[in-house]
Structure 1
């Protein structure tokens, strides 16, 4: 009976550890790629956020709410998860719409990686 409880405890412990780390495995299925991120950014983000991520793209002037400037301190402080959530679900009452369903998870991860590169280049 004692062996049964030990094996059950070990099995449950391993299962719990697996559950704790499962989201990390799903969040990044493959390493993010700056080149792929740049391509996604150029196709879908650059018109509003600008070539360098300053929020000065050609469409920015026509928007009621200014696009994010990725070089501002408040943008720089956001975690990758926050940026992914913004890309996936958009921002309420702003022109930033949801990209879920239009971009794959990998493309969204790649563009977050590229946004980080842009922010570093401007500092």
Structure 2
């Protein structure tokens, strides 16, 4: 390994968290290695995978907080209730002489916001 590669490898290892420096990582090739056994290319691969994993975790946590805050704010709101009266025409074909009748029907609608 050239001096340049050695320096690059040491840089990549030193920028890993202490936990990630001491544990084994699965590579795309299927090999499992600790950072001190990896090539510079493998170290870059591991660092990219760790970064993607961290970003996905942070996004999931932010999404969770957004949903939690939304649900919490909805819990404190009173539901909007709308009451209206609709009139329907009822025809009784057996009693044609009395004609159609109108009847009121109350409808209660519950809405979220």
- TM-score, normalised to structure 2, is 0.29
Per residue, is there more strand in 1 or in 2? Answer: 2
Per residue, is there more helix in 1 or in 2? Answer: 1
Q: Which protein has greater RCO, CA pairs closer than 8 Å, 6+ apart?
A: 1
Q: Which has the larger radius of gyration?
A: 2
